[in-house]
Amino acid sequence: MITDEKKGISGSDEDCRQRIEAFGSNQKKQSEPPGFWELFCGALEDLTMRILIVASFLSIAIEVGTAKPQQRATAWIEGFAVLVAVGICATVTAVNDYQKERQFLKLNSVADSRKRVTIRRSGEQK
């Protein structure tokens, strides 16, 4: 498997097969973009979101535990409202990130389709 600086490689099927076995494929691997659920969970990993989740559960526990019997039926609403707000915020963040990932993939595919590579096989440029 010798490469000549002036002629390049032979380009025969056998030569190409040997080079792929020796050096591996020279094609760029396409990584799978993260899915919506993965982006949603990533949005919940934010420190502020975690603090709000813990605070909302504490609020629910404290409010229900210390409320008068006639107010217990509605004491959980404030803490639950914070949980809903966290869910909405994480969903909006995940949707935005999901759309950005898709647009980035489209942009990369357009850029990749415009790339031209010149190679030398048996003395000819291709």
Return the pLDDT at 1.
Answer: 61
What are the tokens at 106?
């489209």
pLDDT in tens, 74-124: 999 999 999 999 999 999 999 999 999 999 988 988 887 788 777 777 777
**Phi, psi for 34 (deg, rounded to 5):** -65, 145
Could you tell me the CA-to-CA distances from 4 to 7, 96, 120, 122 in Å, in that order? Answer: 5, 50, 10, 9
pLDDT in tens, 4-22: 677 777 777 787 788 888 8
pLDDT band at 61 (very low <50, low <70, confident <90, very high): very high
